[in-house]
Amino acid sequence: MITTINQLKADDLRGKKVLVRVDFNVPIKDGKVSDDYRIERALPTIKFLRDNGAKLLLISHIETKDVEMPTLRPVFDLLSQQLSLSFTEDCFSDEGRQGIEMLEDGEVILFENIRRYEGEKANDPEFASKLAALADMYVNDAFAVSHREHASIVGVPQHLPHYAGLLLSDEIKHLGISDSTPHPFLFILGGAKFETKLPLIEKFLDRADKMFIGGALANDLLKLKGVDVKESLVSSMSGIVTTSLSAIVSNPKIMLPEDLVWDGDKIMDAGPKDIEALRPHIMGAKYILWNGPLGDYEKGFKEGTIALSKLIGQSSADSVVGGGDTLASIKELGLMDEFTFISTGGGAMLEFLLKGTLIGVEALEK
Ligand code: 3PG
């Protein structure tokens, strides 16, 4: 049984030091946060705890491609515009500890990138207990990293009373596919990493009424169907015919792109006819689940994903989407409000859909 923070009373929180694991792993451009969706979604938990008199210790990681150990300073700069908070480089230094001790009720400190400590990714028990010793309670509001067996996700809750934050609990509620999920149910899966997503295709083939597979993911299946994909990106499994793969390509629920957009020898996107073919399914669906772009978004092949976002935006179905590039296209188009739920998770969303839980969620049940 997981307890969410809004089940607690103000007396449970007032004056308590609460270690809040958030996911502020957001993109940074020119020293500034370029997409604040994850930060925005963490605010209700931060404000709830703050307004109930807790002393907040915010911990997060951040990763960028170009810097070995990036800083959360740009996140601090942005958050400072919304709430008053301080920043500590090292929560274990004398200065850091003093800062924590001097916190008044309702005050907030953001710690520097938790992955600066080796113990975090290694899930070192000693590191977890040292981190836990800084606080009285632990809250996980970092859905997007809750598939990682890291100290601040699974280690710390072993030492402290632990709770789910409002975002984490919202993600669990919306991504939990059950018998009461409405039908027709359309599942759209794009992006790459065929090996990772194959179990998801297998699982949802039973549950969904229709499944469109796009992105590089589709290339393996197109190849199996005899389409010459030339130099297109395929997985290491490509060409290996298994019973499961044969069953997938021949299943009438499966739709693959046919109006292929090529760049030289490579398939890069789904074309307008594919989006049109999806139209009746999108308009007739009661529930749409979508993860991953239809084209190579990073290389600028955004058309298919954008057209799909617009079309889903017009449907009256419950629509649940997630994944970084998918989110980027929805934001770019100002369609955020058209979707029922936008997950903050990428890998975490996929893993949650597959398993119905995450290691970080299980850690709150114990
Ligand atoms: C994400 O962006 O998917 C999460 O923040 C997890 O980040 P990671 O893949 O670096 O663990």
pLDDT of residue 328: 83
Q: Is 346 in the pocket of ligand 1 (CB under 6 A)?
A: yes
Same domain, 318 and 209: yes
- Which 3 state secondary structure label does DSSP give 121? helix
CA distance 54 to 176: 30
Residue nearest to atom 7 of ligand 1 (CA): 145
Q: Is 113 in the pocket of ligand 1 (CB under 6 A)?
A: no
Same domain, 156 and 29: yes
CA distance 350 to 11: 37
Q: How far is the CA of 197 from the centre of ligand 1 (A)?
A: 17
- Other C-beta atoms closer than 10 Å to the C-beta of 250 total 10
Q: Which of 22, 23, 153, 196 to mutate to test the pocket of ligand 1 (most atoms within 8 A of CB)?
A: 23
Domain tally, the chain: 2
Give the CATH number, domain containing residue 239: 3.40.50.1260
Q: How far is CA 273 from CA 188, 270, 282, 362, in A?
A: 16, 8, 14, 43
CA distance 169 to 121: 24
pLDDT of residue 18: 98
pLDDT of residue 348: 96
Within-domain flag for 349: no
Same domain, 297 and 247: yes
Within-domain flag for 339: no
Within-domain flag for 343: no
Same domain, 73 and 143: yes
Same domain, 195 and 319: yes
Each residue of 222-245: pLDDT tens digit? Answer: 999 999 999 999 998 887 878 888
pLDDT of residue 25: 96
CA distance 161 to 5: 11
Q: Is 305 in the pocket of ligand 1 (CB under 6 A)?
A: no
Below-70 pLDDT ranges, the chain: none
Same domain, 88 and 235: no
pLDDT of residue 326: 87
Same domain, 189 and 153: no
Same domain, 32 and 115: yes
Q: Is 347 in the pocket of ligand 1 (CB under 6 A)?
A: yes
Task: Give residue 244's domain range.
Answer: 176-334
